[in-house]
């Protein structure tokens, strides 16, 4: 009999130690919280097992080590409750175990009561804490459990039944050996159940994480679509009336003479200013929508998009459009590519083409000095006088000036560029020299200055490069 118990102890020890090492390795490799919890479970079980083995030669030691065997079972409950998001309090039981059940067991032993009487307090306490959890889960959560969680749950039911047999097992060595054997089956049952429980829990956690990501992206998309719908409604509603007035004024213009023409032009111009204000408001709202969005794009890529858009106009006037990156092969910008191209490059290049002479050149020059990035759009066209430069910088709307080939426009593009640059915590500088008979070297330069950390990503350092 004693040899059989020693053999069981040896098997217990080997399997406990193996599981502890295995789950420790799995945790270090995967850093999964569940593996960490199971490692703690088997480490605790091994400690209780070794402590129980030390006291097996003393009758009171056998009873107390049995009482401690509830610790791994409570750990099993903790893992199960954590997986199904159920809060189960055992603080009151811990207090009773330490200060009521254990002292009562010791008192009964020294009073000379039979072993099965001495074992009753700890037995009833252990059965109560396990049975209470089983009852609550069966009543309130059982239908929502997965297959592995239900299998684990029935393992706890079996553990409770084994705990209840302890007083009977003290009646004879044969019953004691049977109790050890039944207890061993608990270990085997949980060893079989835990792998499926772990895999299922990991799968459910990953599925929940992915669902949360999908829900978040869906909500972001829904919010973006709602913002865009609101933006389009604003544009359609607010621009429709002034545009109708402008169209009506233009239709009337051809039929009027003298003072009446001037009045019609004045009224149309007021509505052009109104449209300009609406466009600025809409641009501001759009910038708020994209301001927090981090997009990485290449300046060369942005330049190529603009070059393709204006290819036909460039060919009409035989103008060369070049990108010059000083000190680097390219600049990587943390901006929204579409808005940067449409709100900045396209506006500046369009104006440069408009006021450039045939067979001339437009340059887009990028450089960096002391952490400040400069992007310059430079033409060698007809230029502007100081009054026009000041009016643009002060956002004073001017009537459109005809280009070198008679091109017309509303003169609204520069304000949009200025607003965009300032939204990126940048600044803008406009300089121009008007063409005259007594001078040469006319043209306009628009420089945009950005803090490198507000605008730029990283790129390799190379010699300056040019794209045409």
CATH number at residue 336: 3.30.565.10
285: in domain: no
Q: Is the pTM of this model over 0.75?
A: no
Quote the tokens at residue 374.
């400069």
Cα 257 from Cα 254, distance rounded (Å): 8
Same domain, 198 and 322: no
Residue 31 counted as domain residue: yes
Helix, strand, or coil (residue 85)? coil
Nearest-angstrom CA–CA distance, 133 and 153: 10
Q: Which of 217, 238, 264 is where one domain is finished? A: 217
Tokens of 272: 């052009």
Q: Is residue 336 part of a domain?
A: yes
Q: How many separate domains does the chain show?
A: 2
Domain of 90 in residue numbering reads as 2-217
State the burial class of residue 148 (Cβ atoms within 10 Å of its Cβ: 0-12, 13-18, 19+).
buried
Q: Among 217, 236, 266, which residue terminates a domain?
A: 217
Q: Which helix (H) or strand (E) holds 213?
A: helix 173-253
Instruction: Note down pLDDT in tens along the chain; length 468 residues.
Output: 556 656 666 666 676 667 667 666 766 666 667 667 777 777 777 777 777 666 666 778 778 877 887 888 888 888 788 777 788 888 888 888 889 998 999 999 898 888 889 889 988 998 998 899 999 989 888 888 887 788 878 888 888 888 888 888 777 777 776 766 676 676 666 666 666 666 676 666 677 777 877 888 788 777 777 766 766 666 666 676 667 777 777 677 667 666 677 777 777 777 777 776 666 666 666 666 555 555 678 899 999 988 988 888 899 899 999 999 988 888 888 887 877 888 889 889 988 998 899 999 999 999 988 888 899 999 998 888 888 888 777 765 555 565 566 555 445 577 778 888 888 888 999 999 888 655 567 899 999 998 876 665 544 443 444 445
Residue 199 sits in the same domain as residue 325? no
376 lies in some domain: yes
Provide the 10 A C-beta neighbour count for residue 250: 12
In a domain, 462, yes or no: yes
Residues 336 and 202 in one domain: no
For residue 145, the Cα-to-chain-centroid distance in whole angstroms is 30
Domain membership of residue 239 (yes or no) is: no
315 and 201 part of one domain: no
Query: Does residue 36 fall inside a structural domain?
Result: yes
Residue 213 shares a structural domain with residue 297: no
Regarding whether 34 and 145 lie in a shared domain, the answer is yes
Q: In this structure, are 195 and 298 located in the same domain?
A: no
Q: Verify that 298 and 195 share a domain, yes or no.
A: no
190 with 303, same domain: the answer is no
Residue 120 lies in a domain: yes
Domain boundary among 188, 217, 246: 217
Query: Is the same domain home to 203 and 306?
Result: no
Residues 196 and 307 in one domain: no
Q: Based on the fold, state whether residues 336 and 210 are members of the same structural domain.
A: no
């Amino acid at each position: 009999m004693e040899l059989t118990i020693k053999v069981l102890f040896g098997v217990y020890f080997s399997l406990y130690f193996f599981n502890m090492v295995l789950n420790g390795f799995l945790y270090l490799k995967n850093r999964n919280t569940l593996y960490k919890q199971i490692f703690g479970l088997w480490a605790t079980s091994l400690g209780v097992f070794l402590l129980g083995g030390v006291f097996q030669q003393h009758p009171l030691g056998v009873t107390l080590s049995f009482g401690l065997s509830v610790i791994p079972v409570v750990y099993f409950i903790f893992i199960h409750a954590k997986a199904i998001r159920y809060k189960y309090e055992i603080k009151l039981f811990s207090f009773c175990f330490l200060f009521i059940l254990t002292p009562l067991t010791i008192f009964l032993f020294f009073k000379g009561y039979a072993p099965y009487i001495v074992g009753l307090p700890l037995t009833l306490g252990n059965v109560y804490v396990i049975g209470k959890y089983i009852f609550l889960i069966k009543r309130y959560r059982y239908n929502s459990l997965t297959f592995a969680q239900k299998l684990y749950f029935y393992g706890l039911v079996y553990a409770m039944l084994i705990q209840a047999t302890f007083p009977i097992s003290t009646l004879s060595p044969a019953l004691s050996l049977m109790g050890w054997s039944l207890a061993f089956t608990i270990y085997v049952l949980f060893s079989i159940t835990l792998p499926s429980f772990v895999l299922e829990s990991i799968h459910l956690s990953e599925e929940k994480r992915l669902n949360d990501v999908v829900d978040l992206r869906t909500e972001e998309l829904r919010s973006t679509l709602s913002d865009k719908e609101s933006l389009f409604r604003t544009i359609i509603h607010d621009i429709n009336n002034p545009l109708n007035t402008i169209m009506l004024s233009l239709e009337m213009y051809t039929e009027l003479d003298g003072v009446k023409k001037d009045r019609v032009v004045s009224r149309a111009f007021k509505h052009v200013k109104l449209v300009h204000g609406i466009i600025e408001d809409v641009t501001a709202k759009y910038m708020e929508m994209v301001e927090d969005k981090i997009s990485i794009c290449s300046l060369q890529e942005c330049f190529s998009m603009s070059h393709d858009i204006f290819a036909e106009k460039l060919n009409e006037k035989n103008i060369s459009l070049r990108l010059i990156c000083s000190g680097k092969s390219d600049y990587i910008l943390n901006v929204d590519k579409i808005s940067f191209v449409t709100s900045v490059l396209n506006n500046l290049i369009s104006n440069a083409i408009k006021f450039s002479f045939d067979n001339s050149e437009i340059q887009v020059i990028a450089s960096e000095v002391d952490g400040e990035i400069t992007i310059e759009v430079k033409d060698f066209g007809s230029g502007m006088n100081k009054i026009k430069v000041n009016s643009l910088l002060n956002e004073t709307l001017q009537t459109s000036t005809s280009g070198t080939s008679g091109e017309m426009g509303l003169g609204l593009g520069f304000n949009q560029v200025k607003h965009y640059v300032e939204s990126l915590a940048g600044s803008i500088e406009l300089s121009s020299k008007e063409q005259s008979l007594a001078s040469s070297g006319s043209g306009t330069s628009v420089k945009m200055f950005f803090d490198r950390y507000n605008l730029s990503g990283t790129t390799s350092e190379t010699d300056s490069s040019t794209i045409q």
